[in-house]
Structures are given as structure tokens and as C-alpha cells.
Amino acid sequence: MELKGWILHCRAGYEETLAAEVIAAGKRRGVHGYCRARPHSAYVVFEAPAGDAPLPPPLVFARASAGLVAELTGLPEGGRAEAIAEALPAGLGAAEPWLEHPDSEAGRPLARFCRRFAKPARHALEAGGVATGDPRQRLRLLFPDSRHCLAGVGPPGQWPAGIPRLRMPRSAPSRSVLKLEEAIHRLIPEPERPYPGEHAVDLGAAPGGWSWLMRERGATVTAVDNGPLAAPLADDPGIDHRCADAFRYRPRGEVDWLLCDVVDRPQGITRLMTQWLRAGRARAAVFNLKLPMRHPLDTVRRALDALADAGAETHAAQLYHDREEVTVYARRADSRGGG
Ligand SMILES: C[S@@+](CC[C@H](N)C(=O)[O-])C[C@H]1O[C@@H](n2cnc3c(N)ncnc32)[C@H](O)[C@@H]1O
């Protein structure tokens, strides 16, 4: 099926950054088009006038994405579901379409509308032969408002609107645990995720959310922070707390994981990460890069280029739990197959 472009969700305020990333990614794939990116709308539409777009590639500033099939405006209040079903080609996607709204101030109140409209939409799409239960792709309906629908198809594995449904575990010492959990699911392919018996160094570990999650996954941790860890972690024999400077600490041998949640200039964090990876001190790293107000895309590109020069393969994204930052997973290419 021909796609007319891409529908992309992002953090509100990053539409322009995402648009620049999308245009460049389109060009690399030979897909030319333009973006509609209203400030603070939390979504971007990339239109390819030739109607020849493939499914969208992973993008750092896109939380979720889908191929654009149709855009419907001025939908009637009555018969809205039937109007959508009529406008879409038959045999489009899975039986359970996702109804999404932008994660913006204007978009969040539409959550109620999406919940209520889910059933009529499903019935109309099934009756019209649009949703056929194909498990390979999912039908996605984004409503910027209740009369405006961007219909698309996307891979089945993503979260609706890129917002993960993660519960804050009761015994976790900080909400940062959700960020690492999201990073593991979103950025790290399943066979490469942390597993029991591995060892991690956690730079800037306090109060200890990331260390806590690594312990939950069965790893042991060296937690480096000048500040104290939360009470239950301080007594955990699987955690070795070092009061040291994250920029100076070095492990004795190679560790499986380097985690870094130190808030510092992105150039300094990138340098620290590339030093560890290049010197073979860690096989893989997960870390945050604080974004500057100006040219955040250039900052991320430079960091990813430096990591590639250091022999690392990367996946990076501005996660739902990230604010003015992105999270990066980097793995030494020569460590693949070793776990
Ligand atoms: C955002 S918090 C980390 C939260 C942690 N990931 C968690 O899950 O609870 C940043 C931490 O970095 C530590 N930090 C900042 N600069 C540091 C440095 N140069 N050396 C060691 N720790 C540092 C701070 O003390 C602070 O505890």
C-alpha cells in the first residue's frame, strides 16, 4: 500500500527539531516532502506529495510513528466512525485500532473522547472491512481534535502515542527507575538486555533508581555517587557504593554495563562514555544527554558520531520519561555475540 507520508508523536516543544530530523531521514531514503509542525502540538506530519513513503524509520525525537494513510477533517459528530471507515481502504490493519491524541495541553483532554469513541470506531472499521485482524501492523487513528483524524499504520510493537504504561514499583527509591525501564524496552533489543550475573557501574547513582532496577534484573552494581543511596540499597550486599567523582572513577576490569545519569554538559558525558567504550572498560552503556536550548539535533548528531568513531552502535531517543534530554544505548560493535 502506498503511504502519503508519516505521522510522528513527540514531546511538546520539539516539533521543529523532529521536523528537521524527519526531512533529513526522508532525504536519506529518497523520500522527499515537507513537514507540518505546529509549535507545542506534540506531533508532526511529514507529507510526501509523490505518495511513495515507506514505513517511517526510528527517529531520536519521535516517540512513536506511523505511515500516513489518510487525513480527514470536518468529521461529522453523528456518523463519525462510519465516515472514517468509508474513507479508508479495506484490509488496512489489526482488529484493535489504537485511538491516540497528542500529548500536549490541547491534546490531553481528548483522552476521554478517544476512550468513548474506541468501541464505535472498532465496530465501524470491522463492518467496513478496514480492520481485518492482520497482526503485522496496527491501524492508528490520531485525533488532534474530535473532528480531525490522521489515519495511519504502524508496527505492532510500539506503545500508543509512544507513552509506556509502566507502574512505579513501590520499593524503588526514585522515579528515575521508570526512565531506565523505558530505555531498556525501547532502545535495547531483547537478547542484549541486562540479565542475571552481569555487573554494572552506575555513575551518578543516588538515590538509586537505576541501581535498584539492575538489582531487580539480577545484576550486581558498583554505585558511584558523592551523595548517599536510599536506605534499602545501602544495606544490599549486591551494591558496592563508592563515594567518588563519576568523571574519575575507573573499574578494575571490563564491566558489562556502564550507566550514567549525571547531569552535565553533553560534550563531557559523551567524552566520558566514548573513553570507557574505546578502552574496553564497558561492553555497553546507557546514559542521558542533556539537550541545549539551541540546536539540540546537532548536539545529538555529534554525540552519536563520536560514539560511532569509538566503535559503538547506538540507539537513541527522547523517551516519554525524558524532559530536556535524550537517552542513549551504546554497545561496542566488537562485543556482539558475547552477551
Ligand atoms: C539525576 S541524579 C541520578 C538519579 C539516579 N539515576 C536514580 O535512578 O536514582 C544525578 C546524580 O548524579 C550525582 N552526581 C553529579 N555529578 C557527579 C559527579 N561528578 N560524581 C559523582 N556523582 C555525581 C548527583 O549527586 C546525583 O545524585
Q: Are residues 212 and 155 in the same domain?
A: no
By the 8 A CB rule, do 130 and 94 touch? no
Task: Tell me what pLDDT residue 95 has.
Answer: 67
- Look at residue 25 and tell me whether its pLDDT is greater than 80: yes
Ligand 1 binding pocket mutation candidate from 226, 233, 272 (most atoms within 8 A of CB): 226
Same domain? 255 vs 215: yes
Residue nearest to atom 5 of ligand 1 (CA): 205
Report the distance separating Cα 139 and Cα 256, nearest Å. 39
Tell whether 299 is covered by a domain: yes
Catalytic (active-site) positions: 290
Residue 2, SS3?
coil
CA–CA distance, 21 with 45 (Å, rounded to integer) = 12
CATH of the domain at 99: 3.30.70.2810
pLDDT for the residue 271: 98
- Say what the pLDDT of residue 337 is: 57
The conformation of residue 264, written as its DSSP 8-state character, comes to S
239 touches 221 (CB < 8 A): yes
Task: Tell me if 323 CB under 6 Å of ligand 1.
Answer: no
Same domain, 113 and 242: no
Using 50, 70 and 90 to split pLDDT, how confident is the model at 339? Answer: very low
Res. 33: pLDDT tops 50: yes
What is the CA(23)–ligand 1 centre distance, in A? Answer: 36
Whether residues 195 and 331 share a domain: the answer is yes
Specify the number of domains making up the chain: 2
142/271 same-domain check: no
Residue from 225, 259, 271 whose mutation best tests the ligand 1 pocket (most atoms within 8 A of CB): 225
| C-beta of 176 in contact with ligand 1 (< 6 A) | yes
117 close to ligand 1 (CB < 6 Angstrom) = no
Q: Which of 48-57, 71-80, 82-91, 154-163 has the highest mean pLDDT?
A: 71-80
Does residue 168 lie in a domain region?
no
Q: Is residue 167 part of a domain?
A: no
95 with 191, same domain?
no
pLDDT digits over 299-332, tens only?
999 999 999 999 999 999 999 999 999 999 999 9
Domain that holds residue 20: 5-162
> Residue 129 pLDDT > 50, yes or no?
yes
CA-to-CA distance for 89 and 327, rounded, in angstroms? 38
Average pLDDT, the chain: 94
Do 204 and 79 share a structural domain? no
Q: 204: Cβ below 6 Å to ligand 1?
A: yes
Q: Which residue do the cell numbers 510493537 mark?
A: 157
Decide: 322 in ligand 1 pocket, CB within 6 A: no
Contact by Cβ (8 Å): 43, 15: yes
User: DSSP 3-state assignment of 265?
Assistant: coil
Separation of alpha carbons 334 and 63, rounded Å: 29
pLDDT tops 80 at residue 1: no
Q: Is 198 in the pocket of ligand 1 (CB under 6 A)?
A: no
Q: Is the CB of 212 under 6 A from ligand 1?
A: no
Residue where a domain stops, chosen among 104, 127, 162: 162
> How distant is the alpha carbon of residue 256 from its chain centre?
23
pTM over 0.85: yes
CATH number of the domain enclosing 261:
3.40.50.150
Ligand 1 atom 25 nearest Cα: 227
Nearest CA to ligand 1 atom 11: 204
What digits encode the pLDDT tens for the residues 78-110? 999 999 999 998 877 776 789 999 999 999 999
Predicted local confidence at residue 51, as pLDDT: 81
What pLDDT digit, counting tens, does each position of 167-191 carry? 999 999 999 999 999 999 999 999 9
Of 162, 195, 226, the last residue of a domain is 162
**Of all protein residues, whose CA lies closest to atom 13 belonging to ligand 1?**
204
201 CB within 6 A, ligand 1: no
The residue nearest atom 16 of ligand 1, judged by CA position, is 262
Q: Is the pLDDT of residue 338 over 50?
A: no
- Using the mean position of ligand 1's atoms as its centre, give its distance from the Cα of residue 257 in Å: 17
